[in-house]
Amino acid sequence: MSLAENAGAVRPVSPLWTFGLLRSELTTTFRRWRTLALLAVLAGVPVLVGIAVKMETSDGSSPGGGGGGGPAFISQITNNGLFLVFTALAATLPFFLPMAIGVVAGDAIAGESNAGTLRYLLVAPAGRSRLLLTKYATVVIFCLAATLVVAVSALTVGALLFPLGDLTTISGTQISFAEGLGRALLIALAVAASLIGVAALGLFVSTLTGSGIAAMATTVGLLITVQILDQIPQLHALQPYFFSHYWLSFADLMREPVYWDDLAKNLGLQALYAAVFGSAAWARFTTKDITA
Amino acid sequence: MGELSAGEPVIATRALTKRYRGGQLAVDGLDLTVPAGSVFGFLGPNGSGKTTTIRMLMGLIESTSGTATVLGQPMPRATRAVLPHVGALIEGPALYGFLSGRDNLIRYDSADPAADPRTRKARVAAALDRVGLTAAAGKKAKAYSLGMKQRLGLAAALLQPRRLLVLDEPTNGLDPQGMREIRTLIRELASDGTTVFLSSHLLDEIEQVCTHAAVMTQGRLITQGAVAELSAGARGRLVVTTPDPSEAARVLKEQGVGDVVVTDDRVTGEPPDRDLADVNAALVTAGVRVRGFTVERASLEDAFVALTGEGFDVAG
């Protein structure tokens, strides 16, 4: 067999093989019990919101008691189940979604370092830049998957508990249900993109420490701190630079016509965070002594 | 990557030095030469700098000064070209506990951009078979015993035909049968032409499988060379076990035995050049009751103690 003869000689290497690591990374991440548990929690939020709204409005009153409390769009759910998608995303974006991202991103490098598997990946040789890029790509894909889990769960619950149909935008105009679905998908993408900054921050923290738990806790801690600081009026000048500042801009996709300013600012800010913390993570990881 | 030219060492370091950030000098001016085709034993007490050296050779940590070449190319600059030809087991195995043994190997193989995905399954199965783990391949790695983890770590090093194997304490955690199997495996690999760089603190292990050895202590290289030459430096000792040690010591001195030492019922000394049967006959004639009469072969351990003047304790 020529195969056996070739084994010892020069092996032709296909550039496509480099993506084997990404595939391995994705299957490893999504087969972990922890990842599945995070996704299950995220899928549970729309179920809880849906049931709560259904129970509260079963006597005919409007949810939130007319006081305008609760997440965005909550008062519209009883008219149209599709609004549960927007409400669920608005409810999970401030904490549940970024926390899940923080866990996965924080553990990305530090967890491998903690388990000692990092040294074997590097002598394989995975290549430091390639490994870091693969990890970041996996976290970004997880952002998308987590957001879609919330959206799909919300759509399912909304369709089961409430009527579906044409909907009214924030601007007061009517759009068809099909277009509403399209807007929902756009909103899910905008929410997933909002998490890119946290993902880069978490990955950077992950290259600083050899403990997965410490990296996850730091990332989630930073997330909470930034959200609190974003509420303090005296920090007005700094707030536009907080990664969470424009998060709720996704609601502008429900205007007619769509109001793009804050959405664009949000995307720009996320790209800035990805560039800054991605570079910092790269600088740190490619020069680090791997002693674990 | 190009082939090594004839006689070029597989690993060569020049004044390789590593000082950690705390100021601790882990490796101090190391000049190591590992000849192609050798089974090279890398000896030293715990904390002597063996693992730091191996990590520098594998590009995991950067040297403070000095140079290292592996397979003729500078490290860590050429990691991408060199490491696909190197299988390594560093400081024990590290596995994904939630993955099966087989999936662990698939993951490590996927990390190598030079590994052909079309042959991955077959190569993983062959590596599992080689270390005797085929039956346990589907079990989650967290359920493995230390010995099984060690075998899986070895299997990861054998996923491809390698030109160099770096094995750090490969028999750690194995039972005697497992140790024998691994040593046999190392001899097999070496006979196929793979250079094996084997670190160990078990001297008899090095003596059994290695052709060459180097000894490190406190970050410095004390000696390196062929094992036969190293242990030839230390001679064997005559050991007589007897209930009459003082009488035995007198007779042995008469018979030309040098450096006679008496400890309880053991009398030891450097054997004379004459036939030892005559020495034994002289003891019996003199009325010494002899329980045992042997020559303890000079081991690498004797050579080691002679070289370092210390036992095999952890370096402070």
Mean pLDDT of chain A: 87
The 10s digit of each residue's pLDDT in A198-246 is 999 999 999 998 888 999 999 999 999 998 998 888 888 888 888 888 8
> Can you tell me the mean pLDDT for B118-136?
93
Cβ–Cβ below 8 Å for A127 and B88: no
What is the tens place of the pLDDT at every residue in A250-281?
A: 888 888 888 888 899 999 999 999 999 999 99
Q: Which two tokens stand for residue B226?
A: 């062929």
Instruction: Give contacts of A113 with chain B, Cβ < 8 Å.
Output: none
Domains of chain B by residue range: 11-232, 237-297
Residues of B in contact with A126 (CB under 8 A): 111-113
Note the CATH number of domain B237-297. Answer: 3.30.70.100
State whether B111 and A287 contact (CB < 8 Å).
no
Mean pLDDT, residues B113-129 taken together:
92
Report residue A3's pLDDT band, with 50, 70 and 90 as the boundaries: very low
How far apart, in whole angstroms, are the C-alpha atoms of residue B107 and residue B103? Answer: 6
Q: B54, B64, B110, B116: best mutation site toward chain A, by most A Cβ within 10 Å?
A: B110
CB contacts, 8 Å: A20 with chain B: 110-111, 113, 115, 117
Mean pLDDT of A157-178: 86
Judged against a pLDDT cut of 80, whether residue B186 lies above it is answered with yes
Is 60 exceeded by the pLDDT of residue A159?
Answer: yes
**Residue A20 is nearest to which of B62, B88, B117, comparing CB atoms?**
B117
Report the complex ipTM: 0.85
CA of A240 to nearest chain B CA: how many angstroms apart? 39
Hey, what are B83's tokens?
């490491």
In this prediction, residues B146-162 reach a mean pLDDT of 91
Q: In whole angstroms, how far apart are CA B167 and each of A29, B151, B196, B242, B286?
A: 29, 12, 7, 44, 53
Question: Nearest Cβ partner of B58 from A115, A123, A126?
Answer: A123
The answer to whether A28 contacts B60, with C-beta atoms less than 8 Å apart, is no
Tell if the CB–CB gap between B83 and A121 is shorter than 8 Å.
no
* pLDDT for the residue A197: 93
In this prediction, residues B282-286 reach a mean pLDDT of 88
**What residues of B are in contact with residue A119 (Cβ under 8 Å)?**
55, 58, 60, 90-91, 94
Domain ranges of chain A: 19-58+69-286
Residue B297's pLDDT is 67
Give pTM, 2 decimals. Answer: 0.84
B-chain CB neighbours of A18 within 8 Å are 113
Inform me whether the pLDDT recorded for A115 exceeds 60.
yes
Q: CB within 8 A of A274, min separation 6: which ones?
A: A196, A197, A199, A200
Please state the rounded mean pLDDT for residues B109-137. 92
Do the beta carbons of residue B220 and residue B43 sit within 8 Å? no
- Inter-chain contact A287–B112, Cβ cutoff 8 Å? no
Regarding predicted confidence, which is higher, A57 or B53? B53
Which of B58, B98, B111 shows the shortest C-beta gap to A21?
Answer: B111
- Other Cβ atoms within 10 Å of B299 Cβ, number: 15
pLDDT digits (tens, 9 = 90+) for A16-28: 888 889 999 999 9
Concatenated DSSP letters of chain B: -PPPPTT--SEEEEEEEEE-TTS-EEEEEE--EE-TT-EEEEE--TTSSHHHHHHHHTTSS--SEEEEEETTEEETTTHHHHGGGEEEE-SS----TTSBHHHHHHHHHHT-TTS-GGGHHHHHHHHHHHTT-GGGTTSBGGG--HHHHHHHHHHHHTSS--SEEEEESTTTT--HHHHHHHHHHHHHHHHTT-EEEEEES-HHHHHHH-SEEEEEETTEEEEEEEHHHHHHTS--EEEEE-S-HHHHHHHHHHTT-EEEEEETTEEEEEPPSS-HHHHHHHHHHTT---SEEEEEPP-HHHHHHHHHSS-SPPP-
Percent of chain B exceeding pLDDT 90 equals 39
The third-level CATH classification (topology) of the domain covering B11-232 is Rossmann fold (3.40.50)
Q: Which residue reads 């042997």 in tokens?
A: B294
Pick from B94, B96, B109: CB nearest A119: B94
Q: Which of B52-61, B83-92, B194-203 has the lowest mean pLDDT?
A: B194-203
> What is the reported pLDDT for A142?
95
User: From the centroid of its chain, how far is CA B268?
Assistant: 29
Q: Which residues of A touch B79 (CB under 8 A)?
A: 125, 127
Average pLDDT over residues B128-133: 91
Confidence of residue B235 (pLDDT cuts 50, 70, 90): low
Higher pLDDT, A187 or A171: A187
Distance from CA of A17 to the nearest CA of B (A): 6
Tell me what pLDDT residue B2 has. 53
